[in-house]
Structure 1
Amino acid sequence: MDVSIQPSTVKGTTYAPPSKSYTHRAVAIASLGKESEVSYPLLSKDTLATVHACEAFGATIRIIEGKEDVLRISGVDGQPTTPENVIDAANSGTTLRFMIAIAGLIDGAAVLTGDASLRKRPNIPLLKAMNELGAVAFSTKGDGTAPIVVRGRLKGGKTTVDGSISSQFISGLLLACPFVEKDTTIRVDGELKSRPYVEITIDMLKNAGVKLFTDSTQFTIPCMQSIDVGPYMIPGDFSSASYLLAAGAITNSKVVVKNLFPSKQGDVAIITILQQMGANVEWNQKKGVVTVDGADLKGIRIDAGAHPDLVPTIAILGACAKGVTQITNAAHLRYKETDRLTAMSTELAKMGAKVKQLSDGLIIEESHLHGARLCGYNDHRIVMALTIAGLVAEGETTIDSAESVGVSYPDFFDDLFSMDANIRVE
């Protein structure tokens, strides 16, 4: 599916979709507990992969009749069952990594795989930790990529995890280790990239009654715990909202995005980043409303270690800002759905952007963008960022694999269209 974009001035009010990160975790944690209800979940391709995987492990998950925005989850009380079939995580790295860890709680064996993109993503640090903690976990290809086989239960103990690739390895272990027979200590080797996502996991586990002890480099999880999630409401997603806010900033218009309340999301940094670049941004935290008024933007230097999902958005802002924007500490973007540094560099260059790729980031200069035929790499964040670039490019911009936005923001094009964007999906 292609999306075509003509130059547009977007304006108006819309709602941020529910958080993908919080939905993944809420479903996984509730499925390991007893009875709970999750309100306003994001039901996208990625999160539905987690729903189906949790059902495969024995949880019962259903939409409450008459309440399409509430999931009722009957969990497994820390004792998932052996799946009847292979678990397909589709395109979701979060699902795969979380479920690899949870598979360490079953008595039998589990096989986990995904689509062609997911079968290329690395998991060696997680598999190493699983084996050190008592399970047997391996890649059928011997290279750390899916398909993954897990058999034998996690027992607990001590392990060290490389923090440079994905925080999902740590989050997955944090979900599973409260239910093992011995206390677990996880030490992080190097900088833990995307740490705010681990903080979300910790916060949600603690809210569910789990005891965890953390410092900057280590996590300690007492054994033999239980979970009581209770009712849980999913907050709005700052990652997805970043595209809408950027659209307002670069088209010199006023955009209002609701459902953005304070949370542990690292991508709340988009507000500060826009302000540093010169946009007029107001955030009413009590009402959960962010307002952006477009203005002349200026380039900045940004460390993306804690919020890599914002890099495609920042790259677009940089191309529209005076001076130079430099994105650093983002090498872990090469292990996402695609190599996002190469993807953004390549596609922005097709639009006439002055962009240089570094080993761990990008340098983008102010550019006059023109329309082009672009590749979306079947990557939802690449497609959404390039769509925003198309709003200010001269002429028509066409992007393939537009259907990939369904991974995290199924209503993305509809929301932009409602804000007067001149787009066509076909």
Structure 2
Amino acid sequence: RAPRSKAYTHRAFVAALLARGKSVIRDPLISDDTVNTLDAIQELGARVHEGKIELEVHGAGVPRAPERNLDCAESGATLRFLTAIATTGSDKITFTSRTGLANRPIEPLLRALTKLGASADLHQEKDALRVTIQGPLKGGVTSISGEISSQFISGLLMAAPFARSDVKINVEGNLESKPYIDLTLAVLGKHGITAERDERGFRISAPQEYKPASHHVPSDFSSTAPVAAGAATAGETIVLTGIDGDYRSEPDSIILDLLPKIGIKIDIKDNQLTVQKSRPRGFDFDARDHPDLVPILEVLASQAEGKTTISGVKRLRFKESDRLNTVPSELSKMGARIKVADDAITIEGVDHLQGSPLSSHHDHRVAMACTIAALAAGGDSVVEEAQVVSKSYPAFFTDLETLGAKFNVE
């Protein structure tokens, strides 16, 4: 069964916290990252009742100060979304991390929030982060880069309805990962929150009140894509079930359009995705709106017939690892012909990859990409720290075994 959307689950949990009353979230993804957010919203005042296939979240409205600092572990969405919505009240709230997350950007979001009236204190050094934030938001005009993380903009959109007056968010540079912003606006819309786009960014009338809502979490195509790629390059025909709900709202569902264009045979029918073994053709892909697809697209391209260019990739430096370099370095060990220059990755496909010792760089998407490359390669491969897939797809190895893959997990 296709995994559920991590991006949607995070947003639904946060919006449910901000709505007074009962919200229902059906089919949420339960992974390391989403559990971090779920635990945190309970510390901030939500009450959660877990059923077999759904969660009931009784929201607090304005978050309350927890009794302790909130550890966001390795979840960027948890840190960025909750830092933003912590400004909706007047309590001081502190977030921490002692993982690689501590080295990823957060200061642009804090600057944007302080322009709206919040106060923030940041202590950031290698593998150690502490952010203390306090509202309320007064409203007004703020600005944020659109080229670092769309989660900054999503966090601002979530918090802005609680401001005392209207909020204008000016987006500087290109707005990248636009489908993720669209997803945020769709989730907020279910809770009765409206925002207007203009040529420079977004306008949010304030104050607005979050209303309880029901959600059905769609499939996650950032995580489904590696399984589909494995079938195309290393397997036979596979069928993935659970392609249900409004699956086209999931940002990386664009993979369903790309795969047939590059020669991979797929079919979607009766909530099922069928993928057949097929050698892909080289392709061009602009990754500015879909950075999480890049690692597995590099795996496909390394075995494709012809040349592939993946552009719009500079933001990959700010992921769980420096994906602009980590994935190419691992695939090169396997004989892939891959080059990184400026804002693009160029790959000349080869007939066969060769097994090799590989590192996940403690990055879930790198681990999945390396595993799929290893399944197609000749000879044995070892992927170190492969367990990091639990960040987004805990059942990854179990699902591959169900589909016939053979490997040892130590």
Give the shorter-chain TM-score range. Answer: over 0.9
Instruction: Determine which of 238, 260, 265 is the counterpart of 1:275.
Output: 260
Which amino acid letter does the alignment assign opposite residue 33 of structure 2?
D
- Residue pairs, 1:210-249, within 5 angstroms: 210-249=193-232
Distance 1:124 1:142 in 2: 12
Aligned to 1:73: 57
Distance 1:68 1:340 in 2: 36
- Residue pairs, 1:117-266, within 5 angstroms: 117-141=100-124, 146-251=129-234, 253-261=236-244, 262-266=247-251
TM-score by length of structure 1 reads 0.92
Aligned to 2:4: 18
Q: What secondary structure sits across from 1:338 in the alignment?
A: coil
Shift of 1:173: 0.8
Shift of 1:216: 5.0
Aligned to 1:5: none
Deviates more, 1:270-279 or 1:412-421: 270-279
> Structure 1 regions of 5+ residues with no counterpart?
1-14
TM-score by length of structure 2 reads 0.96
Shift of 1:131: 0.7
Distance 1:295 1:403 in 2: 29
Give the superposed CA RMSD. Answer: 1.6
Aligned to 2:379: 395
> Structure 2 regions of 5+ residues with no counterpart?
none
Distance 1:352 1:305 in 2: 27
Question: Does structure 1 residue 418 correspond to structure 2 residue 405?
Answer: no
Shift of 1:288: 2.5
Shift of 1:293: 1.4
Q: Give me the identity figure in percent.
A: 39
**Cα pair distance change 1:233/1:248, threshold 3 Å:** same
Please list the CA deviations of residues 21-63 of structure 1 after superposition, one character each: whole Å capped at 9, or x if unmatched: 1110110000110211111111110001101111121111231
Please list the CA deviations of residues 275-315 of structure 1 after superposition, one character each: whole Å capped at 9, or x if unmatched: 1211112223xx33221112231111110001000000100
Count of residues paired in the alignment: 406
Distance 1:124 1:288 in 2: 42
- Residue pairs, 1:314-393, within 5 angstroms: 314-367=297-350, 368-393=352-377
Aligned to 1:53: 40
Please list the CA deviations of residues 109-139 of structure 1 after superposition, one character each: whole Å capped at 9, or x if unmatched: 1111223210000112211101100001232
Please list the CA deviations of residues 73-101 of structure 1 after superposition, one character each: whole Å capped at 9, or x if unmatched: 11112x11112111111111011000110
**Cα pair distance change 1:215/1:424, threshold 3 Å:** farther
Distance 2:243 2:200 in 1: 30
Task: Detail structure 1 runs of 4+ shifted over 4 Å in the superposition.
Answer: none
Shift of 1:345: 0.9
Distance 1:260 1:99 in 2: 29
Q: What secondary structure sits across from 2:129 in the alignment?
A: coil
Shift of 1:233: 1.3
Q: What secondary structure sits across from 2:175 in the alignment?
A: coil
Aligned to 1:31: 17
